[in-house]
């Protein structure tokens, strides 16, 4: 199963690429998601949840490339070897958490707002609301953990719609379905590529208007991000969250979503301090390094809910030709 949920902010215009003919695998994935949204909400939750657990366990037992990558990433978090039995056990919980995310995505449009609000346990919500109530924009930066779409539904249900930027998926039909899903929850979704190339300006406008922007931020999709130290090794994080805070004066708030039993947890951490001195690039880099440190604590507390099945650290990336 692919990961169709990696929003990021892009400051530079991007011309729409020529759309390749969808592969058979792309068409099957799109059909699977379409069937999920059409069928899962109408079946018993207990039954479908068990089916997703079984699918996760089967994929985990096969220990294919995605599972091995998850284990390598979790080993970095734990400071141990990927062959550590504890990492292997953690990766099973991680795959179940990952598949739970998709199961919930299919059901989320049919979950009543009152239930979402009642089942979400939030620490630090006042850090969002106090800023927005004063007319100050908020940049919520989060790692790919738990159910970030559900966290967005909680924020919308609390009376604060927000804007995000979404990776353009293949095939285009899947991207449109995923965009419609998020827009149906109340999000404003900007495409990372293939749009009008004005994402940064649009996000800055929303923030200056005292609104919220939410951006998953620990994985850079552009190869032009800010280099930071993350669990002791170098990686790149997208500059967008820090740059928007520097550019607009919005509050940069780390958000850590995770699963809390059958319910959901969300930790809103203290505002990231932006240095007063230095160039815009230096101030942005300092903000992103401080954000990375908060992400380290959140991922360490809930490693099974960190859905990172891709290469992340620079020394893991395949060299470019």
Catalytic residues: 144, 218
Q: Say whether the peptide bond before residue 268 is cis (omega within 30 degrees of 0).
A: no
Task: Give the alpha-carbon dihedral of 169, 174, 178, 179, to 10 degrees.
Answer: 70
Give the closest residue to 178 by CA, choosing from 6, 13, 53.
6
Question: What sign results for the dihedral spanned by CA atoms 291, 293, 295, 301?
Answer: negative
User: What is the distance between the alpha carbons of residues 264 and 155, in angstroms, rounded to a whole number?
Assistant: 13
Residue found under tokens 């815009």:
280
Please give the Cα distance from 220 to 178 (Å, whole number).
20
CA of residue 292 relative to chain centroid, distance: 14
């Amino acid at each position: 199963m692919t990961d169709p949920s990696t929003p990021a902010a892009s400051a530079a215009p991007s011309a729409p690429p020529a759309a390749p003919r969808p592969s058979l695998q792309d068409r099957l994935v799109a059909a699977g998601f379409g069937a999920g949204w059409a069928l899962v909400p109408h079946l018993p939750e207990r039954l479908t949840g068990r089916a997703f657990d079984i699918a996760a366990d089967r994929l985990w037992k096969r220990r294919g490339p995605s599972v091995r990558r998850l284990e390598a990433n979790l080993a970095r978090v734990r400071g141990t070897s990927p062959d550590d039995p504890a990492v292997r056990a953690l990766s099973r919980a991680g795959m179940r958490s990952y598949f739970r995310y998709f199961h919930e995505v299919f059901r989320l449009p049919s979950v009543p707002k009152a239930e979402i609000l009642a089942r979400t346990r939030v620490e630090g919500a006042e850090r969002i609301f106090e800023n927005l109530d004063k007319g100050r924009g908020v940049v919520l930066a989060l790692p790919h953990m738990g159910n970030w779409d559900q966290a967005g539904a909680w924020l919308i249900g609390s009376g604060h719609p927000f804007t995000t930027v979404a990776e353009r998926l293949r095939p285009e039909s899947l991207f449109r379905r995923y965009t419609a899903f998020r827009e149906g929850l109340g999000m404003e979704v900007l495409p990372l590529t293939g749009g009008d190339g004005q994402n940064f300006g649009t996000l800055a406008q929303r923030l200056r208007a005292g609104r919220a922007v939410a951006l998953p931020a620990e994985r850079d999709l552009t190869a032009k991000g800010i280099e930071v130290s993350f669990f002791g090794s170098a990686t790149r994080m997208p500059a967008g969250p820090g740059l928007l805070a520097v550019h607009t004066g919005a509050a940069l708030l780390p958000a850590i979503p995770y699963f809390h039993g059958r319910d959901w947890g969300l930790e809103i951490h203290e505002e990231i301090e932006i240095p007063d001195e230095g160039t815009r690039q230096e101030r942005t880099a300092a903000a992103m390094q401080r954000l990375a440190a908060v992400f380290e604590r959140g991922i360490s507390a809930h490693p099974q809910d960190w859905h990172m099945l891709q290469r992340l650290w620079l020394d893991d990336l395949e060299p470019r030709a």
